[in-house]
Amino acid sequence: MKPFIVVCDGMDKSVFETLQSVQEFDVHPERKLTQDQIQELLPKASALVIRSSTEVKDKYLELAPELKYVIRAGAGTDNIDKVACGKKDVKVSNTPGANNNSAAEHAIALMLTVLRKTAFANATMKSGGWDKSKYTGTELANKKVGIVGFGQIGKIVAKRLQGFEPEILFYDPFCESTDIPNCTKANSVDEIFETCDIITIHTPLMDETRNMVNKDLLSKMKPTAILVNAARGGIVDEEALYETLKEEKIRGAGFDVFATEPLPEDSNLRSLPSLVLTPHLGASTEEAQLRVGQMAVDQLKEFFLNDNLLNEVKA
């Protein structure tokens, strides 16, 4: 029987069309399926291809007795219960690196948006205003940038920022030094929060990083500093962030990721005038989606046609 692949979340259509044309695969053609649609397809699914909005946990695994493979078309696999998958011998992989550049660019876009207040200025322009003096901003050039988490994305941020001639301080327990110019390791995360003008988070969400940026750490930030998170929701304690911004203890923040996604309609974060919000757009570029889709397709072919598991992610 041909493997039945369910592409659950919105992805580049063209790459999956190429898979559809391979005789061995039967790809469900819909894009961004609803929960109900996914659940209807689960009983015959051999593989699921997901982004961050589909959770593969006990419930889905129980509904999918034929499931052999879950591909996270992207990096973070915190939406997959890898222990439960292991127990059912369902393999998991991701597409490492494919959306790194887009994520890094989005973090820098958020920095500039917060510093120059462009999102707020745009909103007033659209409603008929011209509030020039209200939107005086701050330059990015020559600022001290703190990068928490210096893996592939953190390093790309440091490289892409070079044109702004920053002083960069990074912290990562797994990285001691780097050749990237103007970049030195901080002694601790605290040092970054105490001394930097712009702080950007690039760690994965794990037990060690959940709510790592808490009230205490936020209280160490300079009043002129800004915080950016385009990594993962749950790393920054959102209640503490709300209080910090509400009391104007820091200049502002730019957030792309949230503990609960979609961000609830009544979230108090939506009311903060110094907080720029985007709906988990870090990997949402044409280029990244082409790359993650192509890698997912290649991995599906390798797995089902050549019995070769690429980019496995274990529990």
Binding test (CB under 6 A) with ligand 3PG, winner from 8, 90, 161, 283:
283
C-beta closer to ligand 3PG: residue 45 or 107: 107
Instruction: Give me the catalytic one of 72, 106, 232, 251.
Output: 232
Binding test (CB under 6 A) with ligand 3PG, winner from 233, 252, 282, 293:
282
Assess 76 for contact with ligand 3PG (CB under 6 A): yes
Distance CA 154, CA 161 (A): 11
From residue 313, alpha-carbon distances to 17, 69, 261, 289, 307 in Å are 26, 11, 23, 20, 16
Give Cα 47 distance to the centre of its chain.
23
Beta bridge partners, 28, equal: 6
Active-site residue flag, 280:
yes
Binding test (CB under 6 A) with ligand 3PG, winner from 280, 294, 299, 313:
280
Assess 51 for contact with ligand 3PG (CB under 6 A): yes
C-beta closer to ligand 3PG: residue 51 or 143: 51
Assess 285 for contact with ligand 3PG (CB under 6 A): no
Q: Residue 141 has which token pair?
A: 């050039």
Q: How many residues does the chain have?
A: 315
| Residue whose structure tokens are 């946990």 | 57
Distance CA 87, CA 6 (A): 21
Assess 75 for contact with ligand 3PG (CB under 6 A): yes
Burial profile 12-23: b = 16 or more Cβ within 10 angstroms, e = fewer? beebbeebeeee
Stretch that binds ligand 3PG, among 141-149, 175-183, 269-277, 279-287 (CB under 6 A): 279-287
Nearest CA among 219, 230, 224 for reference residue 283: 230
Tell the burial category of 119 from Cβ atoms under 10 Å away from its Cβ (0-12, 13-18, 19+). middle
Active-site residue flag, 106:
no
Residues 6 or more apart in contact with residue 201 via CB below 8 angstroms = 148, 149, 213, 227, 228, 229, 230, 231, 235, 236
CB of 99 to ligand 3PG, least distance (A): 5
Nearest CA among 208, 217, 206 for reference residue 241: 217
Tell the burial category of 221 from Cβ atoms under 10 Å away from its Cβ (0-12, 13-18, 19+). buried
C-beta closer to ligand 3PG: residue 183 or 283: 283
C-beta closer to ligand 3PG: residue 52 or 101: 52
Residues 6 or more apart in contact with residue 236 via CB below 8 angstroms = 201, 211, 212, 213, 227, 229, 255
Active-site residue flag, 176:
no
> Within 90-119, which residues bind ligand 3PG (CB under 6 A)?
99
Stretch that binds ligand 3PG, among 37-45, 151-159, 167-175, 281-289 (CB under 6 A): 281-289
C-beta closer to ligand 3PG: residue 200 or 244: 200
Instruction: Give me the catalytic one of 139, 248, 261, 312.
Output: 261
Instruction: Give me the catalytic one of 51, 202, 251, 280.
Output: 280
Alpha helices, H only, 21-117:
35-41, 58-63, 82-87, 100-116
Stretch that binds ligand 3PG, among 33-41, 70-78, 193-201, 211-219 (CB under 6 A): 70-78
C-beta closer to ligand 3PG: residue 95 or 244: 95
C-beta closer to ligand 3PG: residue 28 or 106: 106
Binding test (CB under 6 A) with ligand 3PG, winner from 3, 74, 166, 254:
74
Catalytic residues: 232, 261, 280
Contact residues toward ligand 3PG (CB under 6 A) are 51-52, 74-76, 99, 280, 282-284
